[in-house]
Every structure is written in structure tokens, then in C-alpha cells.
Amino acid sequence: MVEDLSMHIADLLENSFRAGAKHVELRLSLLRGTLRLEVNDDGSGMDGDLLRKAADPFFTTKRHGKRIGLGLPLFLQTVEELGGTLEVSTRPGGGTRVRAEIPWHHPDRPPLGDLAETVVPIILTSPGVEFRIVLEGNGERIELDTERLKEELGISCLTPEAMGPLMRMVREAMDRVGLKEGA
């Protein structure tokens, strides 16, 4: 059902939006053969009970679908199949951090997919949400911060016309840090 890691990332970002997040950070780093994927948000967070149940797709879709969704259970399944780890840190009113570590060279690892084509349209269709994308690898650290970008450009919002340049920027950054599209 979920064919590439970018689809999981889209799902995790959607969870952040549904939690009312106004700031979302996506971090991807490739260090010593391990892909660390992290989504941080300042949304409503979850209490302990909800967090425990968050891995249960039936529970989440029935009672808390609007807040959690199916994304987390599916991502957990993928990470476990690869022998990776998944941590969720959250508290009510205090946002959520989802952090996964995945062995990059595992033969069954799904491809990363087209991160630029996944994330940039989401950025451009999420009014009121600021994004920070941090990519690390090959000794480089590259950051895209929509709030800072808008300040620098003197504009109040990013319009659909920004899609091409932003996608090129993400693709170039991915190449520089060793996270090739479709890898």
C-alpha cells in the first residue's frame, strides 16, 4: 500500500496538520549507513493513553482518525520490518516528535521516492503552517525554512509559482547530502 518512504513522510506531515501544528520540521540525515527521519511539530500532542493506542490502526481510525490517522501504524510496521527503531515523544499541548532510524542498505528498504514532489506541494497548500526542512549527510547540512524565506523575499505567502524553484532546491540539496531521489 505504501510504496516509498516519501509517502510515509506525507502521512506524518498530515498527522501534524490534523493536530493543529503551526510549525513543522522535517529532518532527514544519512550518517554511517543509517537514515534518521524525524518529524517535529507544535501541534496538540497526545496523552499517554492515546499514544499507546496510536499504533493500533483500528482504534485510531474509529475514534481518533482526525487527530492521528493511519500513518503512524503503517510507518511503525515498515520500520519494524527493516529492523529499525521508532520513537514518539509527545505530551498534550506540547507537540509531537516522531523519530525513526532505518538501515539505509537493508535490501528490503522501500525507495525514498520523490521527496521534492511530495513535500513541496504540501508546503504550498498548507496556509498558516511554517516548515523547516533539514537535510544532513556527506558532511553537509542544508536547511530550508519557509518563514525565513518569506521574510527574505518580503512576501506574505508562497504561491504555486514557487513549486518549480523549491523542488529544484530540495532535489539539489538531496543530491548534496547523498539522498538521491528514487534511491
Partner 1 sequence: MRPEELKEIREKAKARLGLRSGDVRVRIVVGMGTSGIAAGAREVLKALLEEVSRRNLTDVAVTQTGERGLAAKEPVVEVHEGDRITVYGEVDEALARRIVVEHVVNGHPIQDRIIEVREVVG
Task: Tell me which residues touch partner 1 (CB under 8 A).
Answer: 1-3, 6-7, 10-11, 14, 17-18, 65-66, 69-71, 74, 117-118, 121-122, 124-127, 149, 152-163, 165-166, 168-169
With respect to partner 1, which residue has the nearer C-beta, 6 or 29?
Answer: 6
Q: Please, what is the minimum distance in Å from the beta carbon of residue 102 to partner 1?
A: 19
With respect to partner 1, which residue has the nearer C-beta, 63 or 83?
Answer: 63
For residues 123 and 166, the answer to whether their CB atoms sit within 8 Å is: yes
With respect to partner 1, which residue has the nearer C-beta, 17 or 59?
Answer: 17
Question: Of 170, 86, 118, 85, which Cα lies nearest the Cα of 13?
Answer: 118
Distance CA 44, CA 53 (A): 16
For residues 161 and 155, the answer to whether their CB atoms sit within 8 Å is: no
Grid cell for residue 142: 542544508
For residues 74 and 1, the answer to whether their CB atoms sit within 8 Å is: yes
Q: Please, what is the minimum distance in Å from the beta carbon of residue 29 to partner 1?
A: 20
With respect to partner 1, which residue has the nearer C-beta, 82 or 166?
Answer: 166
Radius of gyration of the chain (CA): 16
Q: Please, what is the minimum distance in Å from the beta carbon of residue 172 to partner 1?
A: 8
